[in-house]
Amino acid sequence: MTNGVLPAPRVNIDLGKLRHNARLVSGWAGKAGLEVFAVTKGLRGDPQAARALLGGGVAGLADSRLSNLARLQGLREETLNGRGRPRFLLLRAPSPAEAAETLALSDAVLCASPETAESLARALPAGRPYEVLLTVDFGDLREGLLPEDVPEAALALDRRLAAVSAERDPSRRVHVAGLASNLACFCGVVPTVAHFVDLARLARETGEKLGRPLRVSAGNTAALPLLLRRELPPGLDDLRVGEGIILGRESLHREPLPGCHLDAVTFWATVIEIGRKPSAPSGELAEDAFGHRPVFVDRGHRLRALLAAGRQDIVPEGLKPLDEGIEVVGATSDHLVVDIEDYPGPLGAGAELGFSVNYACLLQAMTSPDVARVHVGEA
């Protein structure tokens, strides 16, 4: 709890802790012969945070949104820790209408759409290569080709891209440079050793058809438990890690990663009212403002605080109070309700309460225009 003069509600981003987490994850990957792309979408492409991630030794930055990559362009020519220029990876395939912007903001894209890849080839400036990493769907049922379709689809797409280049200018070259997989995001499918063995095998088989080796972008934070157990097979080149670095947790069971800070990012909101009220509502109940029917346990009269933040700013279920004796009860659009009956110290209007956040809550807070960002520590 603080009584400061910083803006609130706000997200505090500790740059030193971010750099520390990035250094740990990059170190684990490096021992396995892998690079790490730090995924910045959870930080909404925050340049200062991204600089801290690069300072921690990641090879590049990855994001699913062009607007976030645009915020990071000032970092494209920076070199940190003796490394070369960071590479920029677009994680979500653009629409064909976004081809020119995609090429301007990134060096490679995860994509399985022939039409989108061809639009990139037609828009590419002369004398510049651009990489397409074909996405493979191993059962999470989001983007990508089914594994059995990959070799022939990659060959057909590469020929199609080569034909576009030949039509216009052979020095303009968009090509299939690798394969990428993503698990645990949509259906929650747990990545296994077998998934990555199959991905590496597919890359070898597809590379033989194309006549060149392919890069393998293996997966996301969900792959970190396998990395830590040293179970990832050979033939993989990089991991794309967001939550593991930013929040210090793996994304399957949200267990802490060894040595990582869990509070590199925290959320703060201001108390605007305190009062003792019943813990259960009275009267006939219907749906709340968001179409839910919440259930409340009658614990008698309890001391509660209202905070100036709500579902428009955060996902309340993803908040964990930093102080003991505080419990999140729920939220409306603009009010966060917390139980402070067991809080040991004095608390009044104007005080601030801090919370750790889960990934969903972080995304919401960073997207809300009414939540400020404050950087602390050294990048």
Model confidence over 240-264: pLDDT tens digits? 999 999 999 999 999 999 999 999 9
Question: End-to-end distance of the chain based on CA atoms, in angstroms?
Answer: 25
pLDDT (0 to 100) of residue 11? 98
Note the pTM of the prediction, 2 decimals: 0.94
For 192, the token pair is: 């296994």
**Which segment, 150-164, 168-182, 276-290, is predicted with the most confidence on average?**
150-164
What is the pairing mode between strands 352-357 and 319-321? antiparallel
The mean pLDDT of 170-192, rounded to a whole number, is 93
Provide, rounded to the nearest whole percent, the portion of the chain with pLDDT above 90: 85
pLDDT averaged over every residue in the chain: 94
- From residue 139, alpha-carbon distances to 70, 136, 183, 219 in Å are 32, 9, 8, 13
Which of these ranges, 118-127, 176-185, 291-300, 301-310, has the smallest mean pLDDT?
Answer: 291-300
pLDDT (0 to 100) of residue 286? 87
Domains of the chain: 14-246 (3.20.20.10), 265-376 (2.40.37.10)
pLDDT (0 to 100) of residue 191? 97
pLDDT (0 to 100) of residue 166? 81
Model confidence over 282-334: pLDDT tens digits? 988 888 788 888 888 889 999 999 999 999 999 999 999 999 999 999 999 99
pLDDT (0 to 100) of residue 1? 65
pLDDT of residue 220 exceeding 70, the answer is: yes
Query: What is the band of 91 on the pLDDT scale with cuts at 50, 70, 90?
Result: very high
Model confidence over 25-67: pLDDT tens digits? 999 999 999 999 999 999 999 999 999 999 999 999 999 999 9
